[in-house]
Structure 1
């Protein structure tokens, strides 16, 4: 098979696995400390708020994906529903921001699996994941299915073990009271852990029966993840307390160590292996989604057209996969982990803002409009501006760079 059409081969199970693999990665192991630092005793409220915004985004993305079942996600939705500029900006924010997120996930996996040799291990992670994606979507989904199963089992095991642990010596109520802006900032930071569900929409051209598969997959995967996050968050608060979570470099590992102190080292390293594998699984799916948006933008000549070519029996966009892998490698070699995560969070929220604005145009075609997309759009904007100043400034610079690029090349492509 060759040309520019992708092969439809993913069913509900594979699509749910892709969504779970994208969400149950670096975020569930890394987002708790910054969220607790910002939200204080309102940490669980921040998780619920992030989940509520994510749910609105998921519903909007699902409704749009059913009507536009092709690769590209919000890049396509914005272009078709709002105009070429909005689609271009959504694609720009997704590709550049998510390349930074890919690098952050690779570095997170490396920090768990190879402490002291993070940079080299992160490079190896990117190379291996790119190779898996070059083998085709079904192979990648099969690997992700194993990672997701192990991760869910491990996290549930941590929650169960926490039931027998002694509670924090400092009661949760004695910590600093939650402030509204702090809860918003915590939700914005924790949103990073929910951002994977739209990976299903970016693979819309490769799923069977998009009208049935996509809405079901996004809601099932999001519901499972939200429930798991709330259980884990409640366990963290009970055992470590707000201050303990905020000061922990690896909160989930410290929770497990507190729950099973007699075998802390053994269980801690076991969890490190799970965390590293989960981050690699999320990286695998994220590179997959970025490459598909790259294909869509290349088809419209916003990127080199050769990136739109797919080949082989599995219809793999090898040029796009390789290009994304190279960009992520460069970011891994030069980027700061914390800066990459904040930069990505701002971009992701703006990306979903365009998705919700696009869903507003569905009106009578979708029973969720206009309430769901309006709430989603407002939530995305509110959480984006509540992020740390450095992230907002960096993300705004990215947006400005995209606008400049559009002024130089986008108008010509749109007119053509």
Structure 2
């Protein structure tokens, strides 16, 4: 595929995946799980995300090809683990795409949320089909609008005089399991930097650009999330936040500015559209990589002769996401997505471990690996059971398909 993306576009695509609907929806279930320990959960999720990002950046510089950890797992561990990573990514991020599409529906037209979600998927699939540069341009615009909105929310809350710093203190409701569960749910909002690695074939000078883009995108996302989360908790407190259907809208209303609630709703829809666009790009590129190796139908490996995009994969992914968006709810999708993506990053860290024999250089992937597995298996039990069943099905399909026995 054509290498058309520079550093700025690559950072924008990463931010578009992270500064998306996650910040608008993930804070509430995390607060419900951890209570006053929600901010500790955010810090734990951030540490795991940083380790994952550092491991992914090192691997992407070594293997600048589409597919992300699907490629790294194959090259550094074995085809089995590469396939497991790719399968985990596709199923986890398909759920993420559905969650983003449904967020658009809930904010734009709640009575017909599923129909709006399907329409959003169709429209953004068409944008991705037309070319990566158009997708990057649209993502830049969306990121700028969402950052402006989040800045407005923070200023309104902190300037209202109603925020109370005492609400940030840890209370007696904090326990380790709740904090870890919150961290796993909040990881949903951090995982967008994987999009950068999956676009390896479309980035100029990938060995230099990808590590820099991953670091910059994650640093900016961490800063934004920390500021917004502190402001919202100080305004609402963890109990009220945990029961809020739309946390940022509730925080603005509590700050005495109910007229801004529709603006926040529009911003959430725009943010979700940006995240959905970047997610569709990432899932289709991993689908392309697996189709090239015939783990998925080989027709999905086709690249459009004019647009330079994996158009068959994009259409197939768009169709699957549209069906899922018509059937699921957003909160269950978050837990399922987090499980699949945490396993994906666990394999990324295991792959990065093999890049060196230096004990000091292995500290980061070791922390990332342990962190990912811990957070994955402390998610809500329903999410763990559903995610484990689907990942196991992928493993069984690989071992019984016979494709791997022919050296593919």
Indicate the TM-score class for this superposition, using the shorter chain for normalisation: over 0.9
1:359–1:369 Cα contact (<8 Å) kept? no
> Residue deviations 1:237-260, cap 9 Å, x none?
211111111111111111112224
Task: Provide the C-alpha distance between the structure 2 equivalents of 1:209 and 1:335, rounded to a whole number of angstroms.
Answer: 40
Structure 1 residues 251, 368: CA separation in 2 closer, same or farther (over 3 Å shift)? Answer: farther
Match of 1:247 in 2: 243
Match of 1:209 in 2: 205
1:399 paired with 2:391, answer yes
Task: Provide the C-alpha distance between the structure 2 equivalents of 1:171 and 1:7, rounded to a whole number of angstroms.
Answer: 51
Which of 295, 299, 305 does residue 298 from structure 2 map onto? 305
1:84–1:414 Cα contact (<8 Å) kept? no
1:220 paired with 2:216, answer yes
Which of 260, 273, 278 does residue 267 from structure 1 map onto? 260
Deviation at 1:400, TM superposition (A): 1.3
Match of 1:3 in 2: none
1:57–1:356 Cα contact (<8 Å) kept? yes
Match of 2:287 in 1: 294
- Count of residues in Structure 1 that have an aligned counterpart in Structure 2: 407
2:167–2:237 Cα contact (<8 Å) kept? yes
Task: Provide the C-alpha distance between the structure 1 equivalents of 2:320 and 2:145, rounded to a whole number of angstroms.
Answer: 29
1:291–1:320 Cα contact (<8 Å) kept? yes
1:161–1:259 Cα contact (<8 Å) kept? yes
Match of 2:373 in 1: 381
SS of 1:229 mapped into structure 2: helix
1:408 paired with 2:403, answer no
Deviation at 1:412, TM superposition (A): 3.9
Task: Provide the C-alpha distance between the structure 1 equivalents of 2:147 and 2:84, rounded to a whole number of angstroms.
Answer: 35
More deviation in 370-379 or 165-174? 165-174
SS of 2:248 mapped into structure 1: helix
Match of 2:101 in 1: 106
Task: Provide the C-alpha distance between the structure 1 equivalents of 2:402 and 2:68, rounded to a whole number of angstroms.
Answer: 19
Which of 143, 155, 159 does residue 154 from structure 2 map onto? 159
Task: Provide the C-alpha distance between the structure 2 equivalents of 1:232 and 1:336, rounded to a whole number of angstroms.
Answer: 25
Deviation at 1:102, TM superposition (A): 0.6
Task: Provide the C-alpha distance between the structure 2 equivalents of 1:138 and 1:162, rounded to a whole number of angstroms.
Answer: 37
> Residue deviations 1:191-213, cap 9 Å, x none?
00001011000001110111211
> Residue deviations 1:22-43, cap 9 Å, x none?
0011111001111111122121
* Aligned CA-pair RMSD: 1.7
Match of 1:178 in 2: 174
Match of 1:82 in 2: 77
Which of 82, 88, 91 does residue 86 from structure 2 map onto? 91
SS of 1:363 mapped into structure 2: coil
Deviation at 1:176, TM superposition (A): 4.3
Q: TM-score, normalised by structure 2?
A: 0.96
Task: Provide the C-alpha distance between the structure 2 equivalents of 1:48 and 1:55, rounded to a whole number of angstroms.
Answer: 11
Structure 1 residues 253, 377: CA separation in 2 closer, same or farther (over 3 Å shift)? Answer: same
Which of 270, 273, 276 does residue 280 from structure 1 map onto? 273
Deviation at 1:414, TM superposition (A): 4.9
Task: Provide the C-alpha distance between the structure 1 equivalents of 2:323 and 2:375, rounded to a whole number of angstroms.
Answer: 29
5+ long unaligned stretches in structure 2: none
Match of 2:327 in 1: 334
Q: TM-score, normalised by structure 1?
A: 0.95
